[in-house]
Amino acid sequence: ILTKMPPVTRSSKLLHIIIGLFFIDQEVIDLVSMLYNELKSVKATYGEDAIEKLVPHVGSLVTRLNDLSKDNSGLNQEIDHLRDNLASVEHRCIDLNNSYKDKSVMCCELEEQYDADVASLNAQLA
């Protein structure tokens, strides 16, 4: 019977409808409307039991959505962890850059002091 059913009731578009429960947009509204009309047609053509045969299919889609949601949650946690690490690395780079600048300034000051000391010693020797 499933192969004789309309395409939308056999497709992954049902998953889009279920996902759409969280993010309702015009496509979700159109798909739900189309599915409703097709289910009315299925009921009229094949009877109530044909719709009952769709329940396991929809159930498996809900299970798949739940699994994807768990995966997504795990990935979001991983992204948050990576953001924290990135912020820490950026802070460390800023600290290292500031330290480099401080050492560069100190090096220039030492070079100027060295030149002044050499000039003073040369003046004393002359």
Residue 22 clears pLDDT 70, i.e. is over it? no
**Of residues 7 and 50, which shows the higher confidence score?**
50
Q: How high does pLDDT run on average in the chain?
A: 78
Look at residue 21 in the predicted model and tell me its pLDDT. 62
Question: Which tens digit of pLDDT belongs to each residue from 107-121?
Answer: 889 899 999 999 999
Query: Domain boundaries in the chain?
Result: 2-125
The one-character DSSP state at 5 is: S
| pLDDT per position as a tens digit, 42-97 | 778 888 787 777 777 767 776 777 777 778 888 888 999 999 999 999 999 999 98
- Nearest CA to 58 out of 6, 5, 18, 4 is that of 18
Q: What pLDDT band is residue 16 in, cutting at 50, 70 and 90?
A: low
Tell me if 19 sits within 8 A of 65, measured CB to CB: yes
Furthest-apart CA atoms within the chain: distance in Å: 117
The residues, ordered by sequence, that sit 6+ positions from 42 with a Cβ below 8 Å of its Cβ are: 5, 6, 9, 50, 51, 54
